[in-house]
Amino acid sequence: LPYLIKDNVNGYTLEPHDFKGVAKRVNYVLDTINSQEIKKIEETNRLFGLQTSWSKVAQNMYHFYEEAKGGKS
């Protein structure tokens, strides 16, 4: 989901099937839940959520999939 998740900005990205990486990242977040880093990510996502509607998300996903399959949107 690199079109939606920006590493260390509004979440964390990992390689596909990196289950150990997911476990490490979850533990990291739980261990640092009150840190400035996590608070900043929370605030970034809160602000994004206030500016995003489900219809806009659906429209963006439609365009993404159309572009991925080589169609026009």
Q: What is the pLDDT along the chain (73 residues), one digit of tens a residue?
A: 677 899 999 999 999 999 999 999 999 999 999 999 999 999 999 998 888 888 888 888 899 999 998 865 5
Rounded-to-10 torsion of CA 55, 60, 61, 64: 160
* pLDDT of amino acid 27: 98
Predicted TM-score (pTM) of the model is 0.66
